[in-house]
A and B are shown apart, each in its own frame.
Chain A
Amino acid sequence: MTGDVLLELDHVTIQFGGLKAVADLTLQIGRGELVGLIGPNGAGKTTVFNLVTGVYAPTVGRMLFEGRPIQGMKPHAIAARGITRTFQNIRLFASRCCRDNVCIAAHQHARAGLADAILRTRRFEDDERDIQRRAGELLEILGLSAWADTPAAELPYGQQRRLEIARALAGRPRLLLLDEPAAGLNPQESDQLMRLIEDIRQRFHLTILLIEHDMRVVMGICRRIAVLDYGVKIAEGTPGQIRTDPRVIEAYLGEEVHADLGAGG
């Protein structure tokens, strides 16, 4: 990792009643990295995302983004700082068309106020044109142009996953959190997705933290992987190191993924 740390989790713990969903997690993500976060079901991966995006506040610990603390901030304020995410269980704005879904996320960059919008001032028109143009570009990049005017709920599943990514990108993040983007995709679709993730990372100079169950995807594109089990980080390293780590293998033992891990190593 380079010296330029984008996100730093410093001994972060969150406790729900008697359950420590994430315990004493320390993790650093450098600018421009693509880091994988894996672990068995219920290991606390999505909870980490919820912590970083402000859905939950950590019980203990500090979270720094670009050197400034973000713990205790509201999710929209954290999004404005430059962290956006996708959701494991797709959460699109179902009744709105694809373009609107993307435009909504560009919202925080609008300069025109409410009065501008109601009176349709020049500033509003300029703003709106910018937002629409940018939304069009993102839909194009994600291969969704043909669906621009289709309500999100009517999209095929794979396109919904892509729209989640387009929407997250519209917030112009520096850190993008992808929560199981390959879930439910067939092998060809996940291959496309892998290329897409790499493409957008370079194009938008992104740092990406990726939760994924599809080991092929994780091992294929992440240079560094952290493994969670019962809320505790049990391993961190290159895909090669993770494959052979005995604690990781034990954590996954009995699960289907174990075979993938072993075969790869």
Chain B
Amino acid sequence: MRRALWLAGVLVALVALNVALPRLLNPYLFQIVVLCGINVILAVSLNLVNGFTGQFSIGHAGFMALGAYGSAMFSLHVGQGWVAALEAGHVPGVVAEGFALLLALLVGGLLSALAGYLVGLPSLRLRGDYLAIVTLGFGEIIRVIITNVDAVGASRGLPGIPGWVNFFWVGLGVAAVIFLSLNLARSTHGRALFAIRDDEVAAEALGVDTTSYKVLAFVLGAFFAGVAGGLFAHYLSYLNPNSFTFLKSIEVIAMVVLGGLGSVSGAVLAAIVLTLLPEVLRPVKDYRMVLYSFMLIVLMITRPQGLLGNRELSLTWLTRRRRRAGAPSA
């Protein structure tokens, strides 16, 4: 019952924001909000792999690309036709497009998840640096394939993707990945992932099937990266392989590390900060990326454990902190 209320609340809030935001914000600001949302999905999903499970994956852009192109191709070749048919049958456009978009996101997500499974199964026997190299290779292979396959536009890019994404869908994706991450973290399965991060040998000796759990984290992370890619594709209506370079993977890793490895709220916060930062720094023009990098370095020196460390931002934590801060003076 409480859960149903929560769900209803989230949906109503998303619909309200979906109506309000485009009216309140200018298109530039609105686009930043949407990109924040997409980056939050990417960061929170990578946090499942790098943060919860302690596996170092640097191929997240590859999974995002698969989801983006997969869902875009689905919409171009199948989804659009269905929307036209549904609208001809007097189904409201919003519903028809939402339905087609949902399917496209699922296709993109599942395609990514499948790739995550195929890459993960053999490579998760590798540790640390070795796994990092494999995931790096995977990401680059995906990008190079896309750059060379004419059917998806090759290096010219893929135009004409239906722009079905509005704030509602991005918000829904954000809510879904956060909901999944938090519930996973506070369950026996989440504890198993943390155990692998802290000590793989001990986890295995205590009955945690470490290989399966690592693959699970990888598949879940890949799925949501794919969903983020799908949202990205259907928001911009145009895809280019250059959006999915190694640098994109690094950007997402920076978000996860800056937020605090393993902290969901940290990943959310850092994704927002690191999406806004380059925009805020636009006035300094040429020095923008220098300043951006410099601020990253300063942040990591002053808070090596990340913005939120291992913690989750919660109301109880905030109130307890305030009480503790107030205690000496009282």
Indicate whether B89 reaches chain A with its CB closer than 8 angstroms. no
Query: Contact at A112–B188, with CB atoms within 8 Å?
Result: yes
Residues of A within 8 Å of B203, CB to CB, are 93, 104
Query: Contact at A104–B195, with CB atoms within 8 Å?
Result: yes
Query: Contact at A117–B206, with CB atoms within 8 Å?
Result: no
Pick the contact of A104: B183, B206, B262 (CB < 8 A): B206
Query: Contact at B210–A76, with CB atoms within 8 Å?
Result: yes
Query: Contact at B204–A114, with CB atoms within 8 Å?
Result: no
Q: How far is the CA of A155 from the CA of B184 in the complex (A)?
A: 26
How does the 8 Å CB contact mask read for B188-207 relative to A, with 1 for contact and 0 for none? 11111011011101111111
Indicate whether B3 reaches chain A with its CB closer than 8 angstroms. yes
B121 CB to nearest A CB, Å:
15
B54 CB to nearest A CB, Å:
10
Residues of A within 8 Å of B209, CB to CB, are 74, 76-77
Query: Contact at A93–B188, with CB atoms within 8 Å?
Result: no
Q: Given the known inter-chain contacts A91-B201, A92-B199, A95-B194, please indicate yes or no for A105 contacting B207, CB distance below 8 A.
A: yes
Interface of B is mostly: helix
Q: How far is the CA of A112 from the CA of B190 in the complex (A)?
A: 13
Q: How far is the CA of A65 from the CA of B216 in the complex (A)?
A: 30
Q: Given the known inter-chain contacts A117-B183, A118-B184, A120-B3, please indicate yes or no for A79 contacting B194, CB distance below 8 A.
A: no
Q: Which of A103-130 contact B (CB under 8 A)?
A: 103-108, 110, 112, 114, 117-120, 124, 127-128
Query: Contact at A131–B206, with CB atoms within 8 Å?
Result: no
Query: Contact at A100–B191, with CB atoms within 8 Å?
Result: yes
Q: Given the known inter-chain contacts A76-B210, A96-B198, A120-B3, please indicate yes or no for A53 contacting B188, CB distance below 8 A.
A: no
Indicate whether A94 reaches chain B with its CB closer than 8 angstroms. yes
Query: Contact at B208–A107, with CB atoms within 8 Å?
Result: yes
Query: Contact at B206–A127, with CB atoms within 8 Å?
Result: no
Indicate whether B329 reaches chain A with its CB closer than 8 angstroms. no
How does the 8 Å CB contact mask read for A168-179 relative to B, with 1 for contact and 0 for none? 101100000000
Interface of A is mostly: helix
Q: Given the known inter-chain contacts A79-B205, A91-B201, please indicate yes or no for A120 contacting B310, CB distance below 8 A.
A: no
Query: Contact at B202–A107, with CB atoms within 8 Å?
Result: no
B179 CB to nearest A CB, Å:
8
Q: How far is the CA of A56 from the CA of B216 in the complex (A)?
A: 25
Q: How far is the CA of A112 from the CA of B143 in the complex (A)?
A: 39
Indicate whether B187 reaches chain A with its CB closer than 8 angstroms. yes
Query: Contact at A103–B188, with CB atoms within 8 Å?
Result: yes
- Residue of B191, B198, B207, B262 contacting most chain A CB atoms (<10 Å): B207
Residues of A within 8 Å of B19, CB to CB, are none
Q: Which of B199-245 contact A (CB under 8 A)?
A: 199, 201-210, 216
Pick the contact of B206: A55, A94, A105, A120 (CB < 8 A): A105
Q: How far is the CA of A118 from the CA of B216 in the complex (A)?
A: 14
A141 CB to nearest B CB, Å:
18
Q: Given the known inter-chain contacts A91-B201, A96-B198, A104-B195, please indicate yes or no for A84 contacting B207, CB distance below 8 A.
A: yes
Pick the contact of A75: B184, B191, B204, B310 (CB < 8 A): B204
Query: Contact at A107–B198, with CB atoms within 8 Å?
Result: no
Indicate whether A80 reaches chain B with its CB closer than 8 angstroms. yes
Q: How far is the CA of A95 from the CA of B15 in the complex (A)?
A: 39
Residues of A within 8 Å of B310, CB to CB, are 95
Residues of B within 8 Å of A107, CB to CB, are 188, 191-192, 195, 206-208
Known: A117-B188, A127-B188. 10 other contacts (CB 8 A): A74-B209, A84-B207, A87-B205, A95-B194, A100-B191, A108-B206, A112-B188, A118-B179, A118-B187, A168-B206
- List 20 A–B pairs whose Cβ atoms lie within 8 Å, in order of A's numbering: A53-B205, A75-B205, A79-B204, A87-B205, A93-B199, A93-B202, A94-B198, A95-B197, A95-B198, A96-B198, A103-B191, A104-B206, A104-B208, A112-B187, A117-B183, A117-B188, A117-B189, A117-B190, A120-B183, A167-B206
Chain B residues near A (Cβ < 8 Å):
3, 179-180, 183-184, 187-192, 194-195, 197-199, 201-210, 216, 262, 310
